[in-house]
Amino acid sequence: MCGIVGYVGHRDAADVVVEGLRRLEYRGYDSAGIALVHDGHVVARKRAGKLANLDKALADDPLPPAGTGIGHTRWATHGPPTDRNAHPHLGAGGRVAVVHNGIIENFARLRADLERDGHELRSDTDTEVAAHLLEAAVEAGSDLTEAMQQVCRRLEGAFTLVAIDGADPDRVVAARRNSPLVVGVGEGESFLASDVAAFIEHTRDAIELGQDQVVTISRDGVEVTDVDGRPAEAGSYRPYHVDWDLSAAEKGGFDWFMRKEIHEQPAAITASMLGRHDAQGALQLDELRISEEELREVDKIILVGCGTANYASMVAKYAIEHWTRIPCEVELAHEFRYRDPILTRATLVVAISQSGETADTLMAIRHARQQRAKVLAICNTNGSTIPRESDAVIYTHAGPEIGVASTKGFMTQLVACYLLGLYLAQVRGTKYGDEIAQIVGELEQMPAYVQRLLDASEQVHRLAEELSTARSVLFLGRHTGFPIALEGALKLKELAYIHAEGFAAGELKHGPIALVEDRLPVFCVVPPPGRDQLHDKMVSGIQEVRARGARTIVLAEDGDEEVAPYADDLIRLPRVPTLLQPMVAVVPLQLFACELATRMGHDVDQPRNLAKSVTVE
């Protein structure tokens, strides 16, 4: 997830673009760059690392004055974060410059075609392919808008592209497909950005583009077409007025980064699924780097992680064992190597870490590799240490997560775990192709289901208001609901600093029920009916705590009326398979923790005593 800015107008473009990038640096800080149109040419500067490195380069070698420019702050996907992989990327002759967010899935084939035609590509990125294609089109006689339309028809994947042409100084052209892009409309000037935060200082009048649309901005206004060149239909893009000011810009209008990241989860799930399967639903995990033959020899899987990643591992155990019949163990990374685990060449160790730098998890995988086990990392940070030291990696593509308490990071870890389990089932033949395709189809419905819960968040906010003086909260679950109960409790511990515990509901009678007292809030995650009598047993557990005075807050799927009489508060979840229910059940618990901490006056993004990435054991 990268940050993009484009500008045409009467101001100094370099100032506008760099300041916009500063407000978008939360979207990526692997590198940054800028390109301007000056005197019939493109002039560019770019540097690896944070925006401060680009600032220094511009101070040492200032850009010429210009009224048209584009900029980019990168979260690396294709190619490591180096100067040459930084954006903008130029065409073969340096006439066209492009910045890009997203993934061009067919870039390898397009790159091969370009190289056969004599093009020399200098970076490891998919973006440079688009730059060469655009420049070839304008050199053949198309204007930049027509070139963008032509190129987009050839591209596969999810992307935002923004381009300038040195021979056409009065326009910036962009295209959007399943990736954020917003237009800002000012007086004699126009803006493009990944987020309105980039230009809120200059205008609050914005346009939200639709899918597969191409936009051309100039000093005189904005034109929107589809990729076939037809004028965009009325209603396919949405003008709106931004009602928040610059002080909230970095958070995109949200009070906390965490709340913003909770609301980004539908897009994060989509990004995590992108390019993972073909039209028939067969999975293709290109980053895996472990052969199918080696995967067929795996006789045990050990999942290691800390905190939230550990709970994702627990969900994964249910799914992977069910789909593949491979025994799975779940280990806390900081305990793993100290108990002398039994590892062989046929053991697959799956290390889950949002940052890829978690010290405990890193030590665990080093121990596993010393024992000659295979290691697969599930990670959100391209090029970080854990993926580099693993045999294989599945990147979650959640984008930067700034809030310390993980939300979209956890959600996309679940997606990656499901994809791994299904891929193993495909390779080992424990699931038929149509069964895998059906589950993949169900996963692709999750963004809509999560969005539905986000749109109905007012009920959870009311609960947080009513429970703002609570000093203890319990969470109960069975099957995949048990790790979600643990995750719900962790979020309250992290943010609200109150006693919160998650339990397997069957453990109630073995001790924890002694904690239940009058009006104690108890969240209960109810599995869908019809699976191994789990539903009925969970309902019995709810009755037991309610009989002892607890306030029962029940999360149950649409249509489950059996549980309603025992719920003081009933939160309806979309109907999904039991193994996928964690993806919807966790959302109300995230919202509750964020809102409760807010009402208690805590700093939600930077809770006390915590850090985003734990880099010491």
DSSP of 258-283: HHHHHHTHHHHHHHHHTTSB-TT--B
Q: Are residues 455 and 317 in the same domain?
A: no
Side-chain-side CA neighbours of residue 266 (13 Å):
14
- Over range 208-225, report the average pLDDT: 93
Q: Are residues 239 and 296 in the same domain?
A: no
Whether the Cβ atoms of residue 178 and residue 227 lie closer than 8 Å to each other: no
| Number of domains observed in the structure of the chain | 3
Kindly tell me if the per-residue pLDDT of 41 is higher than 70.
yes
- Over range 202-231, report the average pLDDT: 93
pLDDT at 411: 98
Whether the Cβ atoms of residue 333 and residue 304 lie closer than 8 Å to each other: yes
Q: What are phi and psi of 211, to 5 degrees?
A: -70, 150
Q: Are residues 438 and 461 in the same domain?
A: no
pLDDT tens across 122-147, in order?
A: 999 999 999 999 999 999 999 999 99
In a domain, residue 256? The reply is: no
Q: Are residues 497 and 419 in the same domain?
A: no
Please list, residue by residue across 420-456, b when 16 or more beta carbons sit within 10 angstroms of its beta carbon and e when fewer do: bbbbbbbbbebbeeeebbebbebbeebbebbbebbee
Q: Are residues 284 and 401 in the same domain?
A: yes
Point out the residues that are catalytic: 2, 612
Looking up residue 381, the CATH number of its domain turns out to be: 3.40.50.10490
Residue 316 pLDDT class (50, 70, 90 cuts): very high
Q: Are residues 114 and 237 in the same domain?
A: yes
Q: Are residues 389 and 510 in the same domain?
A: no
What whole-number distance in Å separates Cα of residue 229 and Cα of residue 225?
A: 6
In a domain, residue 615? The reply is: no
pTM of this structure: 0.71
Kindly tell me if the per-residue pLDDT of 381 is higher than 80.
no
In a domain, residue 613? The reply is: no
Domain boundary among 414, 444, 474: 444
Domain boundary among 444, 470, 488: 444
Of 485, 516, 499, 503, which Cα lies nearest the Cα of 586?
485
In a domain, residue 361? The reply is: yes
Q: Are residues 98 and 232 in the same domain?
A: yes
Whether the Cβ atoms of residue 68 and residue 34 lie closer than 8 Å to each other: no
Looking up residue 183, the CATH number of its domain turns out to be: 3.60.20.10
Q: Are residues 37 and 185 in the same domain?
A: yes
pLDDT tens across 256-311, in order?
A: 989 999 999 999 999 899 888 887 778 988 778 899 999 999 999 999 999 999 99
What whole-number distance in Å separates Cα of residue 532 and Cα of residue 485?
A: 20
Q: Are residues 435 and 462 in the same domain?
A: no
In a domain, residue 258? The reply is: no
- Provide the β-strand partners of residue 38: 41
Domain coverage including residue 313: 271-444
Residue 578 pLDDT class (50, 70, 90 cuts): very high
Check residue 71 and report its DSSP letter. Answer: E
pLDDT at 615: 43
In whole angstroms, how far apart are CA 537 and each of 319, 373, 540, 543?
21, 39, 5, 10
pLDDT tens across 526-545, in order?
A: 999 876 688 999 999 999 99
Whether the Cβ atoms of residue 311 and residue 407 lie closer than 8 Å to each other: no
In a domain, residue 152? The reply is: yes
DSSP of 110-153: HHHHHHHTT----SS-SHHHHHHHHHHHHHTT--HHHHHHHHHH
In a domain, residue 264? The reply is: no
Q: Are residues 529 and 383 in the same domain?
A: no
In a domain, residue 61? The reply is: yes
Kindly tell me if the per-residue pLDDT of 410 is higher than 80.
yes
Q: Are residues 21 and 114 in the same domain?
A: yes
| Window from 247-251, 355-359, 559-563 with minimum mean pLDDT | 247-251
